[in-house]
């Protein structure tokens, strides 16, 4: 069942990538914040990682209600793809037992009737603390027919841990506010856009929030 879900997610992600590259289904800007320490600079091409199948929970202010499913699997595959583009290698089989990095993924999706602004969420990497949540370009929906559009807030969080110690070495969040009925709210499209934004110019400037169009 797991391999079937993974194959389906790969197919959906490929379709999403084509749609995004052709600008057929625009996705609103994504707000991205990353935090990391000096250990990131020591990572080399070919560094192996494993994906923790348990969704990242409240350690980053994320709800843990979205358990592994076709939707969560779409985000996992999208994150794997972005890590691969950065030169990391997914460890499978016996090699998974010795992979130095563990990647944890969190996903939160919430609906709301109209404009709103999220509260900042504090996180820490290696003892340093940062703060998410500037609300730049997010939380506003305009409906020319009258009244605000129903919106969907989607938040993707990824944390890369030192597997031996459990210490967080890099973590980031990508947030987008998408009209509830827009094609861009589909998991395959949203996963492709949020993960690409999160890993753009990896590892990114620590502690800075940027808006990725």
Structure confidence at residue 147 as a pLDDT band (50, 70, 90): low
CB under 8 A, 24+ apart: contacts of 64-70: 64/106, 65/108, 66/107, 66/108, 66/109, 70/5, 70/8, 70/9, 70/187
Element (H, E) at 36: strand 30-36
Which pLDDT does position 25 carry in this prediction?
53
Q: What is the mean pLDDT of residues 71-77?
A: 91
pLDDT computed for residue 71 by the predictor: 85
Q: Which residue has the higher pLDDT, 165 or 138?
A: 165
Find out whether 198 and 190 touch, Cβ atoms under 8 Å.
no
- Examine the pLDDT at 48 and tell me if it is beyond 90: yes
Percentage of the chain modeled with pLDDT above 90:
46
Answer yes or no: pTM beyond 0.85. no
What's the average model confidence in pLDDT over 107-129? 55
The answer on pLDDT for 177 being more than 70 is yes
Helix, strand, or coil (residue 4): helix
What is the Rg, in whole angstroms, of the alpha carbon atoms belonging to the chain? 17
Spatial distance between the Cα atoms of 199 and 38, rounded to a whole number of angstroms: 17
Interval 161-185 mean pLDDT: 90
| CATH number 3.40.50.80 given to 2-212 | no
């Amino acid at each position: 069942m797991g391999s079937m879900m993974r194959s389906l997610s790969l197919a959906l992600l490929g379709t999403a990538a084509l749609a995004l590259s052709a600008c057929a289904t625009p996705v609103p800007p994504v707000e991205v914040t990353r935090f990391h320490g000096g250990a990131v600079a020591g990572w080399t091409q070919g560094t192996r990682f494993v994906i923790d199948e348990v969704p990242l929970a409240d350690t980053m202010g994320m709800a843990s209600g979205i358990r592994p499913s076709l939707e969560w699997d779409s985000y996992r595959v999208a994150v794997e793809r972005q890590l691969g583009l950065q030169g990391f290698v997914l460890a499978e089989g016996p090699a998974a037992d010795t992979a130095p990095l563990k990647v944890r993924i969190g996903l939160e999706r919430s609906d709301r009737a109209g404009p709103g602004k999220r509260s900042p969420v504090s996180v820490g990497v290696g003892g340093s603390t940062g703060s998410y949540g500037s609300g730049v370009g997010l939380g506003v929906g305009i409906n020319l027919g009258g009244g605000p559009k129903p919106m969907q807030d989607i938040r993707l969080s990824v944390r890369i841990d030192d597997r031996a110690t459990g210490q967080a070495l890099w973590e980031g969040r990508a947030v987008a506010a998408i009209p509830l009925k827009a094609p861009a709210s589909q998991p395959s499209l949203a996963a492709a856009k949020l993960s690409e934004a999160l890993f753009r110019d990896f590892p990114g400037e620590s502690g800075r929030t940027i808006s990725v169009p």
